[in-house]
Amino acid sequence: MSITLPPLPYALEALEPHLSRRTLAAHHGHHHAAYVAKARALIQRTPLEAAELEEVVRSSAQQHKALFNASAQAWNHAFLWQSMRPGGGGEARGAIAEAIEASFGSQRAFSQQFVTAAGDQFGSGWAWLVLQNNRLQILATANADTPLNTAQVPLLTIDVWEHAYYLDYQHRRLDYIAAFLGHLINWDFANQNLARHLAAPASASAERPLPARSRAGEGRAL
Ligand code: FE
């Protein structure tokens, strides 16, 4: 069985005061763990039993909604934990900073679009920073939907299901998003994902370099 609950990459209290130990314990230990358990149960004694999580997500997307929901949520949460770090947040650095300037015009414009996407996602879902067609984009997905089974390359994500923030922020999702951007977002992880993609053989010629800026200021104001 290849689908397992990965340990958090930091201690339960490491993201305090922005996300509490109580939130992380419930989110990782109950919600994420339940998605992993459900996905494992659904692939038992099927041809997918030994498959990697990514393959399970991609192969279930069209034909097996329950398995897609559980496996995509297992993958999304593993990606989420790495999208945050203690002492994170603030200005992007390195290649991702240059890509943000090229794609959004400024880091401020990126932040505004990210807040809008994450704040406006109705009901449960996610907001993502992705790379598609040589350009960074922000998108929101509903429920378990994920860019993993698309042409988009996920670089960072924030979980906007209520279980991600309700114990700490109640209905104040925008305060949670502000804390994520200001104190938690892991730009090193985004840089790693960007570098891994740009180094991949299939993308080596077509995907480099990132384009010059366009559509700057496209994002809506807060
Ligand atoms: Fe969650």
List the chain domain ranges. 21-82, 94-203
Question: How many angstroms does the Cα of residue 184 sit away from the middle of ligand 1?
Answer: 16
Q: Give the per-residue SS3 of the chain.
A: CCCCCCCCCCCCCCCCCCCCHHHHHHHHHHHHHHHHHHHHHHHCCCCCCCCCHHHHHHHHCCCCHHHHHHHHHHHHHHHHHHCECCCCCCCCCHHHHHHHHHHHCCHHHHHHHHHHHHHHCCCCEEEEEEEECCEEEEEEEECCCCHHHCCCEEEEEEECCHHHCHHHHCCCHHHHHHHHHHHHECHHHHHHHHHHHHHCHHHCCCCCCCCCCCCCCCCCCC
Question: How many angstroms does the Cα of residue 201 sit away from the middle of ligand 1?
Answer: 33
Confidence (pLDDT) at 198: 87
For domain 21-82, the CATH superfamily is: Fe,Mn superoxide dismutase (SOD) domain (1.10.287.990)
Question: How many angstroms does the Cα of residue 11 sit away from the middle of ligand 1?
Answer: 17
Which class would CATH give 94-203?
Answer: alpha beta
Question: How many angstroms does the Cα of residue 210 sit away from the middle of ligand 1?
Answer: 31
Q: What is the pTM of this model?
A: 0.90
Question: How many angstroms does the Cα of residue 199 sit away from the middle of ligand 1?
Answer: 30
Question: How many angstroms does the Cα of residue 121 sit away from the middle of ligand 1?
Answer: 14
pLDDT in tens, the chain (222 residues): 689 999 999 999 999 999 999 999 999 999 999 999 999 999 999 999 999 999 999 999 998 999 999 999 999 999 999 999 999 999 999 999 999 999 999 999 999 999 999 999 999 999 999 999 889 999 999 999 999 989 999 999 999 999 999 999 999 999 999 999 999 999 999 999 999 998 886 644 344 444 444 333 333 222
